């Protein structure tokens, strides 16, 4: 796993459970025609079924390949799961862990996410660990406590990956947090990372996710401590995703 380049933003497309072969080929080809190696780092995270196909398509390009989850073990009796070495064999460089949809739909705990992050790092993958508060937690004023505990529970000692802050109430709703809310939260997250990891906490990239689109990307990506974006629905539309990448280039 490479050391983070803090001066270069990273735009990660989380395709979630979308993308059959024809659609994946068309989307990736549209990106390949436009993505510049001198711009921000770009990673696409398709479903497991598309990893082998896209590894071949992306191998000679500046676009990285990511996965949406992995298991904490390298092998074993875990039906339906994917081990980190299986991902690296397919050319995967990054893996999203602890997304709120995994936490809510599959009951993943902070401890589970931390164990997966350790396994991913050992396999040479860069873990992108997601954290975020619910609407009730924000409205009650408990959001910073929630995020602090998620960092403590989900990030292992010596963490050298990426943190993605995604307020749960903004994911897939079309309602992104305001720039003031994002700026305030990013300041807290940076302080918390430094508090928990010391000097190393200054070099952990923090992405923003949650209804990022081509219209709000420029204002979000220009904020201090926002090192890029984790993009959901907009990453499935080439024009919108390319606009977000362009916004990162200008930030």
- Spatial neighbors of 24 by CB under 8 A, at least 6 apart, are 46, 50, 53, 54
- Pick the catalytic residue from 41, 71, 94, 99: 99
User: Taking the CA of residue 249 as centre, how many other CA atoms within 13 Å lie in the half-sphere pointing to its CB?
Assistant: 13
- Select from 54, 66, 51, 68 the least CA-distant residue to 16: 68
- Select from 168, 171, 115 the least CA-distant residue to 146: 168
- Pick the catalytic residue from 41, 108, 166, 192: 166
Annotation says 26 is catalytic: no
The residue whose two tokens read 């904020």 is: 223
Q: What does the block give as tokens for 107?
A: 């009951």
DSSP 8-state secondary structure symbol assigned to residue 203: G
Burial of 32 (0-12, 13-18, 19+ CB in 10 A): middle
What SS3 class is residue 241? helix
Phi and psi angles of residue 205, each rounded to the nearest 5 degrees, phi first:
-70, 140
Asked whether 89 and 67 are in contact (CB, 8 A), the reply is: no
Instruction: Cite the annotated binding site by residue number.
Output: 14-16, 172, 211, 232-233
In angstroms, the CA 130 to CA 115 distance is 14
Instruction: Cite the annotated binding site for substrate by residue number.
Output: 14-16, 172, 211, 232-233
Asked whether 40 and 249 are in contact (CB, 8 A), the reply is: yes
DSSP 8-state secondary structure symbol assigned to residue 215: T
Asked whether 231 and 11 are in contact (CB, 8 A), the reply is: yes
Annotation says 166 is catalytic: yes
The catalytic site residues sit at 99, 166
């Amino acid at each position: 796993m490479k050391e983070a380049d803090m001066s270069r933003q990273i735009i990660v497309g989380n395709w979630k459970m979308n993308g059959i072969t024809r659609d994946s080929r068309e989307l990736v080809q549209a990106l390949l025609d436009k993505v510049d190696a001198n711009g921000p780092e770009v990673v696409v995270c398709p479903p497991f079924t598309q990893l082998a196909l896209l590894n071949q398509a992306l191998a000679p390009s500046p676009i990285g390949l990511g996965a949406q989850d992995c298991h904490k073990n390298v092998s074993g009796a875990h039906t339906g799961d994917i081990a980190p070495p299986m991902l690296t064999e397919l050319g995967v460089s990054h893996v999203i862990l602890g997304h709120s949809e995994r936490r809510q739909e599959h009951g993943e705990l902070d401890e589970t996410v931390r164990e997966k992050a350790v396994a991913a790092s050992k396999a040479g993958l860069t873990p992108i660990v997601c954290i975020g508060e619910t609407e009730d937690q924000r409205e009650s004023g408990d959001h910073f406590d929630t995020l602090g505990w998620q960092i403590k529970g989900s990030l292992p000692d010596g963490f050298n990956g990426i943190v993605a802050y995604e307020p749960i109430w903004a994911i897939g709703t079309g309602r992104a947090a305001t720039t003031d809310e994002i700026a305030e939260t990013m300041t807290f997250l940076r302080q918390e990372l430094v508090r928990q990891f010391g000097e190393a906490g200054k070099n952990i990239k923090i992405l923003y996710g949650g209804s990022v689109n081509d219209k709000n990307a420029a204002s979000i990506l220009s904020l201090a401590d926002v090192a890029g974006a984790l993009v959901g629905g907009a990453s499935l539309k080439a024009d919108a995703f390319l606009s977000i990448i362009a916004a990162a280039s200008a930030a």
